[in-house]
Amino acid sequence: MKIKVCIGSACHVKGSRQVVEGLQFQIAEHSLKDKINLGGVFCMGRCQEGVCVTVDDKFYSVAPQDVASFFEKEVLPLVK
């Protein structure tokens, strides 16, 4: 599975660093480092929609405070 987080300027201002750190924590917490490839990308072209995240090319807007619930709802069911 590939998770990409926009680290462009608009998403950076909205908390992309915290989203990346939150996802890193969730991946480690669930021992999924061998199953999930987390990476940063520049502009996904949807700057007004918040921190842009794709999971295997499906788009999501994720706020820093929502990382844990996003991971549980959208990522875990696809991995396990």
Has domain 2-79 been given CATH number 3.50.50.60? no
Q: Which residues of 47-78 are buried (b: 16+ CB within 10 A; e: fewer)?
A: eebbbbbebeeeebbbebebbeebbeeebeee
Using CA atoms, how far apart are residues 33 and 62, in angstroms rounded to an integer?
20
Q: What is the pLDDT of residues 14-55, one digit of tens each?
A: 999 999 999 999 999 999 999 999 999 999 999 999 899 999
What tokens does 44 get?
A: 């996904």
What pTM does this model have? 0.94
Q: What is the pLDDT of residues 61-74, one digit of tens each?
A: 999 999 999 999 99
What tokens does 66 get?
A: 């929502």
